[in-house]
Structures are given as structure tokens and as C-alpha cells.
Amino acid sequence: MAEFTLELNDDQKQVRDWIHGFAADVIRPAAAEWDEREETPWPVIQEAAKVGIYSLDFYAQQFFDPTGLGIPMAMEELFWGDAGIALSIVGTGLAAVGVLANGTEEQIGTWIPQMYGDAADVKVAAFCSSEPDAGSDVAAMRTRAVYDEAKDEWVLNGTKTWATNGGIANVHVVVAAVDPELGSKGHASFIVPPNTPGLSQGQKFKKHGIRASHTAEVVLEDVRIPGHCLLGGKDKLDDRLARARERVKAGGGERVKNAAMATFEASRPAVGAMAVGTARAAYEVALDYAKTRTQFGRPIIDNQGIAFQLADMRTQIDAARLLVWRASWMASAGKPFTSAEGSMSKLYASETAKKVTAQAIQILGGNGYTREYPVERMHRDAAIYTIFEGTSEIQRLVIARTLSGMPIR
């Protein structure tokens, strides 16, 4: 049995330092510009592709790190660089995870490479689950997928919203209701291949933070896709639906996991790690500033009122990272989240990022409130972590339900 350690091994340190170097040299210097432009930073994604950070191979290597720490380490470093640009780099991963979680080997091999493209011609992918009336309440989804047996095609209709890379993606993964009577258990995920007629971008959102990441509506009007674009295949779906119908008939049914939730569960600790990256970035700026800014003839960190805030900030960041690492280790070791450890890590890390970035602004005083210093942007960026991939309230619901076994509302 392996000895317990929280120390990274030499390979992990090497990878972490390499990603950190890219974040410091390429991402951070570009952050303010792309935040103002509110556009996808294609040249930075291309740089990431050139050095090997934007590719399935990169994520696969991190994913298969036996300690489970590869992905959280990578996320923390990239988001330390800048959250908006980093989300543009890793946003494709959410769609890729959707395929990995629900797809066959053939689908994984066919579609994931098309999500990334290559360094000469980079592509992005989008995962489209949320809808205007179905955010936290995934079961309220209205997008329909109807099977046209004669043509062996699926026909998708509906409107998706808040999709990262929506409309600019080469490949869209769309979650749709096949059997609306079953609620979220009647959902399935579909690949919409590049240039499929009927898929268009709706409104592109102007956002509070992570402005370098593209977020938009995706409109699906009689989108016809081949039968093989159903992730997991028709037999598996038919089996799953039959079991769900049986459970509904028997008056149960909570145990069948829906397609979107499988994606989110796997990705929650990773989102926690992104939040840790942003929090750590703001904390470092605040620490440096507090040591060099002089008022009343001494550095402001000489005041316990400032120093203790920094002590709390760092303590909370480290605690958040430990929760993220625990959940990531559990996931990679195949241990179920019996106490909703994935949700705990996302909840604590995202709330910490919001709090720490706000404290960083306070420590920088007037400078912190301006765009001359990065903490203002980091605070705007941090607000997303308590919203996407399940809001903090939804994480608390998941944790409370898991711990109590009660249907808390």
C-alpha cells in the first residue's frame, strides 16, 4: 500500500512548473487585453496548442495521473494565469468529458480530435445543457430529440443558453429530452457535427467576468444528425429508458443518473481547482502589495488588520485545495462521493475565490478598484465559480441530501 503523502512527485512538479510557466509568460500578460476585447483569444489557444497544452493528449495524461492530481494541478495553474483565457483553453474539455462519460470508444476516437483541431487550425467544442427555463432545474429541459427510424436520424429542436463556445464550436454536444415524461432520466447527449444545418448561434452574452470566454445561446431548428451521433448508442439508451420506466412504474427511480449530471459530477473538483487558481492569484498580488505599500511610515502589512486578512486568505485557499485534491483523488481511485465530496470541494473553493478576491481589492485600496491592477478583474471572474456547473445553493442541496438521505428542497 502506498505511503500517505501530499507531496507532489518529480513528474508532477515538472508538469506543474511547465504549465505555470505558460500561464505566467503567455496567459497573464494577455489577460487585460482579452478581458477588454471580450473575444475568444484564438492566438493564445493556438500558442497553447503549439506547446501541447491544448490537446486531448494533454488532458488524458493529466487525467490518468494515478494520484488524481493531474487535472486539478493543471486547472489551478492555468486559471492562476487568467480565468477568462484559461476557460477558453479548457472549455472544450467540458464537451470532451461529456463524450468520455457517455460515448462509445468509437465516438471518443471520432469526435474528440475534431473538438480540438490541431496547432495549425485550432477548434473548440461546446457542451450545451442549460436552457432559458432549465438552469439548476435540468429536468425542465425542453429541447427535444426525436428519432426518425426510416432515415436512422435524430431530429433536434430547442434553444440552449449560456453555452461556453456555443455557436463558434466545431463540435457541439447537446443534451436533449428523448422521453420528456421521465424528466432528467429521459435525457440523452448527442453530437452535432461541424456545419450541421439548423444549428445557429443566438445571442452572445456580455458578461461581468471571464469575458475572454465566449458564452452564447445555441438555437437548434430541425437539426438532423445521423443515428450514430447519439452518445452511447441506441441500444444502451433503450435499455436505460426501459429501466427508468420500470422504476417510475414501481414508484422509485432516483437512482438512474442522467447524461448531464454525469458530466457535471466528474467536473466539479476541476471547477474547484479553477477557483483555487483565481483565489491564489489575487492573494499573491495582495501579499506583494501589502509588503510594499507604505502608509503612516510603514508597510500596510505591519498592521494586524491587513496581515491577519492575508493569513485567513491563504488558510482558506489551502483548505480549498485540500478539498479539491481529496475529491480528485477519490474520483481517480474509484471511490464514490458518499458525502458529496465533489460538491463540497466546488462549494468551498468557489466561495473562497469570491471572498479572497474581494479582500484583495480591499487590501489594494483605490488601486484595487481600478483596471490598472488585476484584482478587480479577478474578482469579476471569481463570481462565475459559484454559478456555473451547479450554483452554491445546488451544491449545498446535493451535500445535504447526500448526508441526510432526505429529499431536502
Ligand X SMILES: Cc1cc2nc3c(=O)[nH]c(=O)nc-3n(C[C@H](O)[C@H](O)[C@H](O)COP(=O)(O)OP(=O)(O)OC[C@H]3O[C@@H](n4cnc5c(N)ncnc54)[C@H](O)[C@@H]3O)c2cc1C
CB of 170 to ligand X, least distance (A): 15
Residue 277 Cβ vs ligand X, minimum distance, rounded to whole Å: 16
Q: Nearer to ligand X by C-beta: 69 or 270?
A: 270
By CB under 6 A, is residue 278 in contact with ligand X? no
Which residue, 31 or 330, has its beta carbon nearer to ligand X?
A: 31
Instruction: For residue 267, state whether it binds ligand X (rule: CB under 6 A).
Output: no
| Separation between Cα atoms, residue 137 and residue 401, nearest integer Å | 16
Contact stretch for ligand X (CB under 6 A) within 130-138, 280-288, 335-343, 366-374: 130-138
Least distance (Å) between residue 397 CB and ligand X: 6
**Looking only at residues 140 through 179 of this chain, which bind ligand X when binding is defined by CB under 6 A?**
162-164
* Cell numbers standing for residue 328: 480528485
Min dist. Cβ of residue 260 to ligand X (A): 7
Joined together, the cell numbers standing for residue 408 give 431536502
Q: Is 130 in the site for ligand X (CB under 6 A)?
A: yes
Say which of 3, 217, 389, 393 is annotated catalytic: 389
Phi, psi of 207, rounded to the nearest 5 degrees: -115, 165
Residue from 82, 328, 388, 398 that binds ligand X (CB under 6 A)?
388
Give the distance from CA 20 to its chain's centroid.
19
Q: Residue 65 forms beta bridges with which residues?
A: none
Nearest approach in angstroms of CB 57 to ligand X is: 23
Q: Does 129 bind ligand X (CB under 6 A)?
A: yes
Instruction: Using CB under 6 A, pick the residue from 127, 154, 289, 337 that binds ligand X.
Output: 127
Residue 301 Cβ, how far from ligand X at the closest point, in Å?
34
Residues that bind ligand X (rule: CB under 6 A) add up to a total of: 21
Task: Using the minimum distance from each CB to ligand X, give the nearer residue, 135 or 193.
Answer: 135
Strands 144-148 and 117-118: unpaired
Stretch of residues binding ligand X (CB under 6 A), selected from 30-38, 54-62, 188-196, 390-398: 390-398
CB 352 within 8 A of CB 317: yes
* Binding to ligand X, residues 326-385 (CB under 6 A): 384
Residue closest to ligand X (Cβ): 135
Which of 9, 14, 136, 203 binds ligand X (CB under 6 A)? It is 136
387 binds ligand X (CB under 6 A): yes
Question: Does 201 interact with ligand X (rule: CB under 6 A)?
Answer: no
Judge whether 178 and 230 are in contact, CB under 8 Å. no
State which residue, 145 or 285, has the beta carbon closest to ligand X.
145
CA dist., res. 172 & res. 146, Å (int): 18
306 binds ligand X (CB under 6 A): no
CB of 392 to ligand X, least distance (A): 7
202 binds ligand X, rule: CB under 6 A: no
Q: Minimum CB separation from ligand X for residue 343, in Å?
A: 13
Interface with ligand X, residue 391, by CB under 6 A = yes
Write out the chain in H/E/C secondary structure.
CCCCCCCCCHHHHHHHHHHHHHHHHHHHHHHHHHHHHCCCCHHHHHHHHHHCCCCHHHHHHHHCCCCCCHHHHHHHHHHHHCHHHHHHHHHHHHHHHHHHHHCCHHHHHHHHHHHHEECCEECCEEEECCECCECCCHHHCCCEEEEECCCCEEEEEEEEEEEECCCCCCEEEEEEECCHHHHHHHEEEEEECCCCCCEEEEEECCCCCCCCCCEEEEEEEEEEEEHHHECCCHHHHHHHHHHHHHHHHCCCCCCCCCHHHHHHHHHHHHHHHHHHHHHHHHHHHHHHHHHHCEECCEEHHHCHHHHHHHHHHHHHHHHHHHHHHHHHHHHHCCCCCCCCHHHHHHHHHHHHHHHHHHHHHHHHHHHHCCCCCCHHHHHHHHHHHHCCCCCHHHHHHHHHHHHHCCCCC
Contacting ligand X within 41-100 (CB under 6 A):
94
**Residue 389 designated active-site:** yes
Complex with ligand X: residue 288 or 393, whichever CB lies closer? 393
State the binding string over 89-108 for ligand X (x if CB under 6 A, else -).
Answer: -----x--------------
Interface with ligand X (CB under 6 A): 94, 127-130, 135-136, 162-164, 207, 210, 215, 384, 387-389, 391, 393-394, 397
* Residues with a known catalytic role: 389
